[in-house]
């Protein structure tokens, strides 16, 4: 079969057919219509990614199970660990909130590097990692070591007024694990894995005369698909269902958005934490916590907490609602502005978990039964549920639906 220097690719966002060079040589191919990244030539090899993943796997037990920082409270040393914060949340009656913290700070980071190592092992064994590649693509946004790193800084500012604070050497392991995981995010390219493990599914030639089909899971542009026993069209490479109508996708977005919005009401009205010092109990909501930082003069920390805990969640809901209404009512607004808003929602959604991570660290340091007590409020669960639901809503909002409305409006204007 003839190997073409240029292949035909369909953009995952605007569905434009683009001729992409077969070898990019450390360059990036962008869609000329929407600037979406079609292919990258600066990705790392699977062997290098596996080595980095192994290093992260070695560092994670030190970062998760051992103290990152400590306080000296009346001569009694108390240590903060990632695992310890989630465990004390669970034993204090907030098991669902603890699970959210544990999922994003422990389970998904370990799963992420294990998936990379599994793919490398499957390559050695001659196996095809179809489901491993699919899971690797979907798990990335739930790995939040970088968010936890910022939470460490916020918790340090919050605790330094109550007791002497010191950082442990294990913090170096956590910082290294965070940096290496971020490098893997940037350099690993699941699409290249699909091309490597499934070479028989070749890209289309640039002169392909028919309208090709596109799979959004493995980003494969092809000329025919398979049909399962239920009559549904599936991708021949990753076997994903291609027959999910836009109506079902919109229903999923509406359902998760409405549920997330309902959760935000008690999350902002109920206390999210309470502190007891010398018999005096003070309960803080999300907003009053920001006011407390301002009164203490920690304006930078107040800004970080306000953006992550209040501005980002409300802006996510407002933007997703606007985009849904734009689809339903076929508004003739700037498609490029809508894409910027959608990308913003995808980028900032995970950072709202900052507040829950801070609460977990505070629980780990300020133990119940000491002179200084800290406890999680009822709002914590609702806040975490709102973050999860809005992240799921944004993940299900397909950019192609907005572009189809844009193309339809353009056709009407021409006629």
Q: Which pLDDT score, from 0 to 100, does residue 58 have?
A: 96
* Cβ contacts of 148 within 8 Å, gap of 6 or more: 82, 104, 105, 178, 357
Q: Which pLDDT score, from 0 to 100, does residue 4 have?
A: 56
The whole-chain average pLDDT of the chain stands at: 87
Q: Which pLDDT score, from 0 to 100, does residue 60 have?
A: 95
Q: Which pLDDT score, from 0 to 100, does residue 201 have?
A: 81
**Polymer length in residues for the chain:** 415
pLDDT at 368 exceeding the cut of 70 = no
pLDDT at 157 exceeding the cut of 70 = yes
Stronger pLDDT, 265 or 199, i.e. the higher one: 265
Stronger pLDDT, 278 or 379, i.e. the higher one: 379
Residue 146 CA to residue 177 CA, distance in Å, equals 10
pLDDT at 1 exceeding the cut of 50 = no
Confidence of residue 349 (pLDDT cuts 50, 70, 90): confident
Of 285, 329, 296, 335, residue with least CA distance to 13: 335
* Cβ contacts of 63 within 8 Å, gap of 6 or more: 82, 170, 173, 174, 177
Which DSSP state fits 66? S
Residue 7 pairs with which residues in a beta bridge? 20
Of 218, 220, 243, 215, residue with least CA distance to 230: 243
Residue 167 pairs with which residues in a beta bridge? 69
Q: Which pLDDT score, from 0 to 100, does residue 48 have?
A: 92
Q: Which pLDDT score, from 0 to 100, does residue 278 have?
A: 59
Q: What is the pLDDT of residues 26-44, one digit of tens each?
A: 788 899 999 998 888 777 8
pLDDT at 385 exceeding the cut of 90 = yes
Alpha-carbon radius of gyration of the chain? 24
Q: What is the pLDDT of residues 244-299, one digit of tens each?
A: 888 999 999 999 999 999 999 999 999 988 776 656 667 788 888 888 888 877 78
* Region class of 330: left (phi > 0), else alpha (psi between -120 and 50), else beta: left
Q: Which pLDDT score, from 0 to 100, does residue 269 have?
A: 92
């Amino acid at each position: 079969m003839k190997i073409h220097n240029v292949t035909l690719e369909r953009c995952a966002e605007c569905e434009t057919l683009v001729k992409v060079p077969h070898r990019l040589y450390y360059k990036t191919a962008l869609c000329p219509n929407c600037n979406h990244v079609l292919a990258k030539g600066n990705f790392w090899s699977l062997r290098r990614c596996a080595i980095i993943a192994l290093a992260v796997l070695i560092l994670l037990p030190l970062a998760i199970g051992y103290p990152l920082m400590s306080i000296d409270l009346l001569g009694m040393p108390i240590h903060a660990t990632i695992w310890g914060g989630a465990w004390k949340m669970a034993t204090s009656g907030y098991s669902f909130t603890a699970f959210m913290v544990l999922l994003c700070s422990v389970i998904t980071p370990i799963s992420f590097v294990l998936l990379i190592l599994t793919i490398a092992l499957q390559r050695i064994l001659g196996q095809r990692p179809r489901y491993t590649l699919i899971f690797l693509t979907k798990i990335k946004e739930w790995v939040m070591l970088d968010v936890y790193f910022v939470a460490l800084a916020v918790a340090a500012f919050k605790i330094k007024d109550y007791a002497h604070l010191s950082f442990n050497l294990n913090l170096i392991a956590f910082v290294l694990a965070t940096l290496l995981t971020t490098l893997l995010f940037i350099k690993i390219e699941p699409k290249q894995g699909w091309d490597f493990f499934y070479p028989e599914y070749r890209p289309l030639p640039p002169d392909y005369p028919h309208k090709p089909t596109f799979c959004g899971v493995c980003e494969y542009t092809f000329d025919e698909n398979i049909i399962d026993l239920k009559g549904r069209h599936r991708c021949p490479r990753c076997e994903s269902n291609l027959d999910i109508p836009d109506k079902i996708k919109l229903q999923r977005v509406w359902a998760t958005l409405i549920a997330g919005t309902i959760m935000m009401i008690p999350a902002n009205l109920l206390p999210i934490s309470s502190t007891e010092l010398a018999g005096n109990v003070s309960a803080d909501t999300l907003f009053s916590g920001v006011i407390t930082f301002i009164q203490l003069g920690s304006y930078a920390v107040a800004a970080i907490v306000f953006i992550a805990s209040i501005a980002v969640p409300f802006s996510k809901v407002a933007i997703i609602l606007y985009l849904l209404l734009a689809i339903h009512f076929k508004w003739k607004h700037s498609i490029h502005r809508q894409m910027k808003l959608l990308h913003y929602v995808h980028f900032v959604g995970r950072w709202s978990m900052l507040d829950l991570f801070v609460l977990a660290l505070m629980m780990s340091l300020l133990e119940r039964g000491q002179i200084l007590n800290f406890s999680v409020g009822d709002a914590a669960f609702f806040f975490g549920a709102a973050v999860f639901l809005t992240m799921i809503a944004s993940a299900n909002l397909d950019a192609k639906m907005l572009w189809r409305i844009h193309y339809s409006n353009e056709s009407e204007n021409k006629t």
